[in-house]
A and B are shown apart, each in its own frame.
Chain A
Amino acid sequence: MQQTFTKAMARNIFLGGAAFFLIIYLVLTVDSWRQIPIRDHASQMSPAAERGKYLMDSNNCIGCHTINGEGAYYAPELGNVYTRRGPDFIKAWIKAQPIGGYRQMPHFNFSDKDLDDITAYLQWVSRINTNHWPPNIQG
Chain B
Amino acid sequence: MNFASQRVAKPYFIGALALFAGQIIFGLIAGMQYLDGSFLFPAFPFSVIRTVHTNLLIVWLLMAFMGAAYYIVPEEAQTELHSPRLALLTFWVFLIAGVLTILGYLFVPYSQLAAMTGNAILPTMGRGYLEQPLPTKIGIVLVALSLLFNVTMTLAKGRKTSLNIVLVAGLWGLALLFLPAFYFPVDTVKASYSWWWVVHGWVEGDWELILSALLGFILVRMTGVDREIIEKWMYIIIAMTLISGIIGIGHHYYYTGAPEYWIWLGSIFSAMEPVPFLMLVVFAVRMLISRRHEYPNHAALLWAIGTPVMAFLGAGFWGFMITLAPVQYYTHGTNFTAAHGHLAFFGAYAMVSLSIISYAMPHLRGRMANSLRAQRWEMTGFWIMVISMFVIALALTGAGIVTVFLQRMGEHPISFMGVQYQERVFFWIREVAGFTFFSGLVAYLTSFFVGGDPVAAHGATVPRGR
Chain A positions within 8 Å of B, measured between CB atoms, are 2, 5-7, 10-11, 13-14, 17-18, 21-22, 24-25, 28-29, 31-33, 35-37, 39-40, 42, 45, 50, 53-64, 66-77, 98, 100-108, 125, 128-131, 133-139
The reply to whether B46 and A58 form a contact with Cβ atoms under 8 Å apart is no
Given contacts A14-B239, A104-B38, contact A54 B123 (CB under 8 A): yes
The reply to whether B255 and A69 form a contact with Cβ atoms under 8 Å apart is yes
Closest to B113 in A: A58
The reply to whether B235 and A22 form a contact with Cβ atoms under 8 Å apart is no
Q: Which residues of A contact B195 (CB under 8 A)?
A: 70
**Residue from the set A14, A33, A105 with the largest chain B CB neighbour count within 10 Å:** A14
Q: List B1-49 residues whose CB lies under 8 Å from chain A.
A: 33-34, 37-38, 41-42, 45-48
Q: How far is the CB of A60 from chain B (nearest CB, A)?
A: 4
Q: Which residues of A contact B259 (CB under 8 A)?
A: 31-32, 35-36, 39
The reply to whether B333 and A77 form a contact with Cβ atoms under 8 Å apart is yes
Q: How far is the CB of B359 from chain A (nearest CB, A)?
A: 23
A20 to B45, CA, bound (A): 45
Indicate which residue in B34, B162, B189, B255 contacts A133 across the interface (CB closer than 8 Å).
B255
The reply to whether A42 and B187 form a contact with Cβ atoms under 8 Å apart is yes
Indicate which residue in A18, A74, A135 contacts B239 across the interface (CB closer than 8 Å).
A18
List the 4 closest A-B pairs by CB distance, nearest first: A63-B47, A57-B126, A69-B333, A133-B255
Q: Which residues of B contact A102 (CB under 8 A)?
A: 37, 417, 420-421
Closest to A138 in B: B413
Q: How far is the CB of A96 from chain B (nearest CB, A)?
A: 14
A60 to B421, CA, bound (A): 24
Q: Which residues of A contact B407 (CB under 8 A)?
A: 138-139
Q: How far is the CB of B406 from chain A (nearest CB, A)?
A: 9
A131 to B229, CA, bound (A): 46
8 contacts between A and B (CB under 8 A): A25-B249, A45-B186, A58-B110, A59-B111, A63-B46, A135-B408, A138-B407, A138-B415
Closest to B30 in A: A74
Given contacts A107-B42, A138-B416, contact A63 B50 (CB under 8 A): yes
The reply to whether B114 and A58 form a contact with Cβ atoms under 8 Å apart is yes
The reply to whether A45 and B187 form a contact with Cβ atoms under 8 Å apart is yes
Q: Which residues of B contact A63 (CB under 8 A)?
A: 45-48, 50-51, 110, 131
Q: Which residues of A contact B413 (CB under 8 A)?
A: 135-138
Q: How far is the CB of B449 from chain A (nearest CB, A)?
A: 36
Interface magnitude class on chain B: 35 or more
Q: Which residues of B contact A37 (CB under 8 A)?
A: 187
The reply to whether A62 and B127 form a contact with Cβ atoms under 8 Å apart is yes
A114 to B243, CA, bound (A): 46
The reply to whether B37 and A13 form a contact with Cβ atoms under 8 Å apart is no
Known: A57-B123, A58-B111, A68-B188. 17 other contacts (CB 8 A): A24-B246, A25-B247, A53-B188, A58-B110, A60-B110, A63-B110, A64-B50, A70-B195, A103-B34, A103-B417, A104-B37, A105-B45, A106-B41, A107-B42, A135-B408, A138-B416, A139-B333
Closest to B165 in A: A11
The reply to whether A36 and B193 form a contact with Cβ atoms under 8 Å apart is yes
The reply to whether A101 and B37 form a contact with Cβ atoms under 8 Å apart is yes
Closest to A29 in B: B193
Q: Which residues of A contact B45 (CB under 8 A)?
A: 63-64, 104-106
The reply to whether A17 and B190 form a contact with Cβ atoms under 8 Å apart is no
Indicate which residue in B34, B123, B188, B247 contacts A74 across the interface (CB closer than 8 Å).
B34
B260 within 8 A of A: yes
The reply to whether A58 and B125 form a contact with Cβ atoms under 8 Å apart is yes
Q: Which residues of B contact A71 (CB under 8 A)?
A: 128, 333
A32 to B256, CA, bound (A): 12
Q: How far is the CB of A28 from chain B (nearest CB, A)?
A: 7
A125 to B361, CA, bound (A): 50
Q: How many A-B residue pairs have CB under 8 A?
A: 227
Q: List B86-138 residues whose CB lies under 8 Å from chain A.
A: 110-111, 114-115, 119-120, 123, 125-128, 131
Given contacts A70-B256, A73-B333, A131-B254, contact A40 B188 (CB under 8 A): yes
A71 to B254, CA, bound (A): 16
A50 to B188, CA, bound (A): 10
Q: Which residues of A contact B79 (CB under 8 A)?
A: none
Q: List B392-412 residues whose CB lies under 8 Å from chain A.
A: 407-409
A59 to B110, CA, bound (A): 6
A66 to B42, CA, bound (A): 21
Indicate which residue in A40, A57, A101 contacts B125 across the interface (CB closer than 8 Å).
A57
B257 within 8 A of A: yes
A53 to B126, CA, bound (A): 10
Closest to B227 in A: A7
The reply to whether A33 and B415 form a contact with Cβ atoms under 8 Å apart is no
B231 within 8 A of A: yes
A11 to B334, CA, bound (A): 39
A13 to B377, CA, bound (A): 42
B238 within 8 A of A: yes
Closest to B197 in A: A29
Indicate which residue in B46, B187, B231, B333 contacts A7 across the interface (CB closer than 8 Å).
B231
Closest to A35 in B: B259
Indicate which residue in A33, A39, A104, A138 contacts B257 across the interface (CB closer than 8 Å).
A39
The reply to whether A57 and B127 form a contact with Cβ atoms under 8 Å apart is yes
Q: How far is the CB of A98 from chain B (nearest CB, A)?
A: 6
**Residue from the set B126, B330, B334 with the largest chain A CB neighbour count within 10 Å:** B126
Q: How far is the CB of A132 from chain B (nearest CB, A)?
A: 8
B152 within 8 A of A: no
